[in-house]
Amino acid sequence: MSNTALPVLQTQPNAAPQGASDELKHLKPPVDPAKLKHRDLLGGTFWQKIPAYREISEATFLDHSWQSKHSIINPEKLLDAVRGLVSDEFIADAKVGFSRAPMSVRVSPYLLSLIDWTDPYHDPLRIQFIPVGSRLLPDHPKLGLDSLHEQADAPVPGLTHRYPDKALFLPLDTCPVYCRFCTRSYAVGVDTEEVEKVQLKAKPERWQRAFRYISERPELEDIVVSGGDAYNLRATQITEIGEALLALPNVRRIRFATKGPAVMPQKVLTDHAWADALTAVVEKGRKLHKEVVLHTHFNNPNEITAITEAAMNKLHERGIYVRNQSVLQKGVNDTVETMRLLIKRLGHVNVHPYYVYVHDLVQGVEDLRTTLDTGLMLEKHVRGSTAGFNTPTFVVDAPGGGGKRDAHSFEHYDRDNGISVFTSPAVKDDQYYIYYDPLHLLPSDAARERWKNPTEIEKMIDTAIAKARGQVRP
Ligand SMILES: *Cc1c(COP(=O)(O)O)cnc(C)c1O
Ligand code: SF4
């Protein structure tokens, strides 16, 4: 064994004082601590570089009600807040983007402060929340609203029962932020300042019907409380939903899903009623030997700051387990370096990377999608870089209601025309689910040409399914 490697940067911290037998043999040089970027979280009064927040103190910035009250839900006001920081061309471009975007807008001061306005075109947070006209691309020809068939699988409005033992409960339809890439754009975010107040009200009858359905299905054990977003549930509503579900003997696991920690971690720190209500449901569940956890949604390492760390520390101290689901997006997290940093940083703040979704087919965000192949490549490079339990599964939520499939489990994948075929035996035997790569990322113009011809499209799909069929084992 060669042993030429010595600690490079430290002044021999491991040098044995005497006696060669005590000397530690480093087979590799220790990593330069400056390279452990996942531990290097943005702190200080970073928001004060935004003119509108120059005078805002830390106490104010950490106040969740200040964050909510100053969240910007109007494109004009949003662009006003950054005027002077960005070029007029960018402002004009974003105006076009907003006029063509099918989603509502909501950006917290925290989020606004995390965007690098000196380079807005490349900023991973800007890309997720603020559309610009010049980057928009035509939708894929096979795209439809509600591509996941959530409504088709809904026995009660706002309750999707697709998988054998789990269901998705959508108690409300508002969010603390509106994401360009949202899969539920058919449902969430229809708010203006007035509509919002109405929507935030409890809808007891619909909720009661959902609870009753769950109680009548002994096979249902696992309930995802999503939305909209659990951040927008009042403390009393967290308690109401949590207690109603925990009271059902068949329900063993509950997840409250929220994007909140990624866009407004302040709430965890300063909305004491909300945090305490969640904690009480988790503790009650624990006594009943049921699991209640939080699922959240970080997509880029820049979303994790010292404020996030403080918020996640608080949840950790209270024994609240947090898992993360990311959406793979071009320019946001589609490189090995960024994805590894995201995964390591999540682990650092005790958030467990659970899934990375290959972007669903959603209207108006073709610029955000990547190919399945990108997902496969990233998975290969991420796995092995940290603990296996902190390594996410890369999944495709198969259009047509097949549910989530391991990205590697396709029966057939033609990288040239971007068609991949999946099966989902536990959900529906004998059915093929197809995912389509975005056309602008296909490797050849010839393939793009074929996608312009409806007859060719049907031929490509038929061929893909035939090939998949040959592949499927009994
Ligand atoms: C994602 C999802 C679930 C939860 O699935 P997991 O793989 O257990 O995270 C449940 N129901 C629906 C409809 C879903 O889309
Ligand atoms: S927070 Fe979730 S549900 Fe709300 S817009 Fe974003 S992705 Fe959609």
**What domains sit in the chain, N to C, each tagged with a CATH number?**
46-135 (no CATH), 159-409 (3.20.20.70), 410-474 (no CATH)
Return the higher-pLDDT residue of 2 and 175: 175
Ligand 1 center–CA 172 separation, angstroms: 17
What is the tens place of the pLDDT at every residue in 299-318?
Answer: 999 999 999 999 999 999 99
Note whether 289 and 250 are within 8 A (CB). no
Q: What is the CA(219)–ligand 1 centre distance, in A?
A: 15
Measured distance CA(349)–CA(41) in Å, rounded:
10
Helical axes 235-246 vs 272-287, angle rounded to 10°: 10
| Distance (Å) from CA 186 to ligand 2 centroid | 11
What are the residues whose beta carbons fall under 8 Å from the beta carbon of 216, sequence distance 6 or more?
Answer: none
pLDDT of residue 146: 57
pTM score, two decimals? 0.91
Angle between helices 372-382 and 336-348 (to 10 degrees): 50
Pocket of ligand 1, candidates 147, 224, 326: which has the most ligand atoms within 8 Å of its Cβ, to mutate?
A: 224
Q: Which tens digits make up the pLDDT trace of 133-189? A: 999 999 999 987 555 666 778 888 889 998 999 999 999 888 899 898 886 654 555
Once rounded to an integer, what is the mean pLDDT over residues 49-76? 94
Nearest protein Cα to ligand 1, atom 6: 404
Tell me the ligand closest to 427's alpha carbon: 1
pLDDT of res. 76: 87
Average pLDDT, the chain: 90
State which of 23-37, 137-151, 197-211 shows the largest mean pLDDT. Answer: 23-37
Answer yes or no: are the C-beta atoms of 103 and 185 closer than 8 Å.
yes
Measured over all CA atoms, what is the biggest interatomic distance in the chain, rounded to whole angstroms? 80
Q: Is the pLDDT of residue 11 over 60?
A: no
Mean pLDDT of 200-216: 84
Q: Which of 352, 404, 405 most suits a substitution to test ligand 1, by most atoms within 8 Å of the C-beta? A: 404
Residue 103 reports pLDDT greater than 80: no
Q: How confident is the model at residue 228 (pLDDT cuts 50, 70, 90)?
A: confident
- pLDDT value at residue 473: 54
Atom in ligand 1 nearest the alpha carbon of residue 160: 13
The ligand 2 site (C-beta within 6 Å) comprises: 175, 177-179, 182, 184, 188-189, 227, 229, 259
Distance 277 CA to ligand 2 centre (A): 22
Cβ of 162 below 6 Å from ligand 1: yes
**CA–CA separation, 436 vs 415, rounded Å?**
10
The answer on pLDDT for 200 being more than 70 is no
- C-alpha–C-alpha distance, residues 381 and 370, integer Å: 16
Q: Which atom of ligand 1 is nearest to the CA of 395?
A: 7
Pick the ligand that lies closest to the CA of residue 254: 1
Q: Rounded to the nearest whole angstrom, what is the distance from the C-alpha of residue 208 to the centroid of ligand 2?
A: 24
What string of DSSP letters covers 278-295?
A: HHHHHHHHHHTT-EEEEE
